[in-house]
Amino acid sequence: MVKRQLPNPAELLELMQFKKPEFDGKKRRLDAALTIDDLRTIAKRRTPKAAFDYTDGAAEGELSLTRARQAFQDVEFHPGILKPAPDVDTSVDILGGPSALPFGIAPTGFTRLMQTEGEVAGAGAAAAAGIPFTLSTLGTTSIEGVKAANPHGRNWFQLYVMRDREISYELTRRAAAAGFDTLQFTVDTPVAGARLRDKRNGFSIPPQLTLGTIINAIPRPWWWIDFLTTPKLEFASLSTTGGTVGELLDAAMDPTISYDDLAVIRDLWPGRIVIKGVQNVEDSVRLRDAGVDGIVLSNHGGRQLDRAPIPFHLLPSVRSAVGDDFTVMIDTGIMNGADIVAAVALGADFTLIGRAYLYGLMAGGRAGVDRTIAILRTEIERTMRLLGVASLAELEPAHVTQLTRLVPVSRSASDVVVG
């Protein structure tokens, strides 16, 4: 039998340490967020529905986004054993420069709508973490404003070729003059996708007050206080080009863009250029042969063509087709550092996060973006250690199996019944 005794107060104190209370509400809620999904939950609670749904939603039935996230969840890892990796190196050289982590911040439009610190928070957090930050053509902080927020870090610029080509040319020149080192030429937006959540919410840019938005805002006064007491929401880099926000948005979508436009931008841009929105093997090879510096496999976060290809599923075949010396990046669906590790193992040189960054921004401004990066860094490092790899260069396809729920159906002529 176990010998029983009276509790020893000294031993109890040793075993029962009370947690020091945290009186800073923002720090307390961010420290409690252990995953990107935790940040999403906080963001949803703190942000009006229309703004949150603009970030969280995708096109039509949102199948592309759902499938992209499912593809990462359907990963099976194959760890090596007895391969100590007490210290892991998460750094990578990408597009002529360093990144402390194998991901950067993707371009997002209307960013200050989600939380008023917007791109300044993203650029500052990227600078502190030593990773690239990408500013969108439809960003709400100017090219020069992002440079001021991240004066010594790596800034990239995402370009839409607008109907008025001279606007795009001038943006290209301004980004180059500000020292941005990489241009992301986006090709998957000839027209706008059908964002049904936005239509159902009566969402518009700039936001229009309705009875529904007022009722939804009542438990979120901090968002409206921030929104109403800070500079007006606008496309900051386009603020001198004329036209309303709606007119500028419409002008950004042009179904006539072609390889001729790429050639013009290539001549204007002195730095690296990557093509964002590539969705098949054939285009990947053609772009490599055209002399661009890299591609981003992306379906625009599922926000354009619903049922578009899943970038993560495309990755192995694209890598095989373009070879090892061509830069291939990937976005869409990344919600965990393990997703990033799996992408690198299957051939991605780099990844980009969009919604994950915005969830952190909505959850806590700059501190929330810092928390996003910290969560992903921890997950990357832990996954690498558990796989038994000490550097990203050690990751290889043998570490990952892509389990699939979506198997293409091939029908031969003999299968077709003519009635």
CA angle 16, 17, 21 (to 5 degrees): 135
Q: E strands of 266-361, at which residues? A: 272-278, 294-297, 327-330, 350-353
141 by DSSP, 3-state: which?
Answer: coil
DSSP assigned state of 60: T
Both tokens of residue 351? Answer: 């990844």
Q: For residues 371 and 304, what is the distance between their CA atoms, to the nearest angstrom? A: 29
The catalytic residue among 78, 152, 300, 313 is 300
The type of residue at 35 is T
* Residue 300 annotated in active site: yes
| Of 382, 294, 398, residue with least CA distance to 346 | 398
**Neighbour tally for 221: CB within 10 Å:** 9
Q: For residues 80 and 384, what is the distance between their CA atoms, to the nearest angstrom? A: 10
Give Dmax (Cα) for the chain: 88
| Of 227, 248, 49, residue with least CA distance to 139 | 248
Q: For residues 362 and 55, what is the distance between their CA atoms, to the nearest angstrom? A: 10
CB 265 within 8 A of CB 285: no
CB 295 within 8 A of CB 182: no
CB 365 within 8 A of CB 42: no
CB 392 within 8 A of CB 101: no
Which residues are bridge partners to 278 per DSSP?
297
**Neighbour tally for 235: CB within 10 Å:** 22
Residue with tokens 């009186």: 23
CB 243 within 8 A of CB 129: no
Both tokens of residue 130? Answer: 């030593």
CB 161 within 8 A of CB 168: yes
Query: Burial level of 174, CB count in 10 A (0-12/13-18/19+)?
Result: middle
Rounded to whole angstroms, what are the CA distances from 100 to 333, 343, 377?
A: 21, 17, 10
The catalytic residues are 300
